[in-house]
Structure 1
Amino acid sequence: MAKPLIVTTESSQWLTNSYLVADRPGGTGVLIDSNGDLQPLLDAAREHDVTIEKLLLTHHHWDHVVSHAEDAQAAGGVPVLAAKETAELIDGVDETFVHGEIIETGDLLVEALHTPGHCSDHHALVVRLRGDGADVAPTLFSADVLFRGTVGGTVNGGPDGFAQLKRSITELFAPLPDDTDVRPGHRAPTTLAAERADNPFLRVWAGTDPEGDEAVEIVELREDLDGPATLVLWAPDYDGGNKAWVRYADGRDVIVGGSRVKRT
């Protein structure tokens, strides 16, 4: 069965992934996110005779949009597409999409799904192929909501960021098969099956592993978040550091970078 052509480039500065996704060599495709290092994707498009028709943005964070206007021009003056929420936060968006919308390019079908929690405008993209490729497991471009072995931080997700992130991941997983390929916004790919089995955050949410109760101090994060907390989970992060799920005395749950957690 046919699968989409996917090429990745990773920014050395932020470890952010950008992608070229096409329905086939010699076909049409899209770029996903703009990490400041898209030349390898443009070269790959020429190598595979792919016509790039759109540049899609998953959310407004700088490391995912840093060069979107320039990249769209370099790809042939293609339109930049983003959620309407994202278009309110950055310049240079030509067309907007909404939750559940299918963006079509040749035989490529890209479904945009609103996945808040990491930030309010965050969208994941589920890619399927029309025709014979419809029987192949989709590819999930999860951006910053889900990574290999970890999840996105919720400091910038608002007061309900943690609950929204958990709900976003749960709703993403529900309709998708275990063999769905996951292409995150940072670092290595994974599958839904691997994350269901091994992701520390998902294991605690499922009740497979217990919550922790270590007393810690949150430092140099934000005035309303600095101070004592309980360390519910300490886990590896995609960048070689750690990520922490912490709970405050007032019941707030937040996922933060491990560098902000002072352990005794």
Structure 2
Amino acid sequence: MSEQQHQQEQQPIVACITVGMLQENCYLYACPQTREAVIIDPGDEAERIIHTIKDLKLIPKYIINTHGHFDHICAIDAISEVYPVPLAIHPADVPLYSDARAAAMCGRQPPLVKRKPDILLKEGDTISFGTLTLEVIHTPGHTPGGICLISRPYCVFSGDTLFHRGIGRTDLPGGDYEQIIESIGEKLYILEDDLAVFAGHGEPTTIAEEKAENPFIIVEG
């Protein structure tokens, strides 16, 4: 086996399933050796997500929410019936699981998520599965409980905090423009330049690209 082939086999598995009316990115992130995986932001179309898990022969260990908006959470209960693994979210966004206004926005009955979270995430927490570890950073601004998940030396799952050439909207309840700018500038832009950024909507990018090209946050220097 060549060194290049060996490196490719060591790379984590990243499967993106774009779901729902807002085209939200649900991610399956898995260890290539053990096939243990996390399900990040299962927002809709549970059957498609479950089909992909089975197709890739993954073993889900956790469901993780980067935040609690309806387009990121509405498939949790259906997936939990098949994979009853621990559910993790920041405590500040737990109320969004049962928020009547959010349910009305997407034409559903509250609660949007019936099950209760098993893990309340905070800054610095880690979630390990197979050979991989995700580190939690709290990045409020889009929502009070927004988080990003870092997997060094590979990638960061940025939820709706940082997008390809964009940032999360802050005009919804709980949003704060100054907070999201601070979260990105002080917590994401200090990360390694070559980390891939997998966002809650849109295409992938890198930390370096956004520092250089994102029009919303100007990096001095």
Q: With structure 2 as the length reference, what TM-score do the two structures score?
A: 0.81
Instruction: Find out whether 1:148 has 2:168 as its counterpart.
Output: no
Over the matched positions of the two proteins, sequence identity in percent amounts to 29
Per-residue deviation at 1:32? 0.1
Instruction: Find out whether 1:179 has 2:194 as its counterpart.
Output: yes
Superposed CA deviations along residues 51-88 of structure 1, whole A, max 9, x for unmatched, are: 111110111111111121111222x2112111122224
Preserved contact between residue 9 and residue 37 of structure 1 (Cα < 8 Å): no
Counterpart of 1:85? 92
Q: With structure 1 as the length reference, what TM-score do the two structures score?
A: 0.68
**In the aligned structure 2, how far is the partner of 1:65 from the partner of 1:48?**
22
Per-residue deviation at 1:138? 2.7
Match for 2:67 among 48, 59, 74?
59
Per-residue deviation at 1:186? 0.5
**In the aligned structure 1, how far is the partner of 2:96 from the partner of 2:150?**
23
Instruction: Find out whether 1:100 has 2:124 as its counterpart.
Output: yes
Superposed CA deviations along residues 136-178 of structure 1, whole A, max 9, x for unmatched, are: x33111111111111111113658x111111100123344211
Preserved contact between residue 180 and residue 191 of structure 1 (Cα < 8 Å): yes
Instruction: Find out whether 1:165 has 2:184 as its counterpart.
Output: no
Per-residue deviation at 1:49? 2.3
1:1-264 paired onto structure 2 within 5 Å: 1=7, 2-24=10-32, 26-74=34-82, 76-90=83-97, 91-92=114-115, 93-128=117-152, 137-156=153-172, 158=174, 161-202=176-217, 205-206=218-219
Q: Which amino acid aligns with 2:177?
A: F
Q: Equivalent residue of 1:206, what SS?
A: coil
Structure 1: gaps spanning 5 or more residues = 129-136, 209-264
Preserved contact between residue 57 and residue 64 of structure 1 (Cα < 8 Å): yes
Larger Rg: 1
Preserved contact between residue 93 and residue 143 of structure 2 (Cα < 8 Å): no
Q: Which has the higher strand share?
A: 1
Superposed CA deviations along residues 202-235 of structure 1, whole A, max 9, x for unmatched, are: 2xx3369xxxxxxxxxxxxxxxxxxxxxxxxxxx
Q: 1:26–1:49: structure 2 CA closer, same or farther, 3 Å change rule? A: farther
Preserved contact between residue 9 and residue 41 of structure 1 (Cα < 8 Å): yes
**In the aligned structure 2, how far is the partner of 1:18 from the partner of 1:64?**
8
Preserved contact between residue 50 and residue 79 of structure 2 (Cα < 8 Å): no
Q: 1:200–1:171: structure 2 CA closer, same or farther, 3 Å change rule? A: same
Aligned residues, how many? 196
Cα root mean square deviation, aligned: 2.0
Structure 2: gaps spanning 5 or more residues = 1-6, 98-113
Per-residue deviation at 1:33? 0.5
Superposed CA deviations along residues 6-56 of structure 1, whole A, max 9, x for unmatched, are: 101112511111011001154201100011124333233323322111110
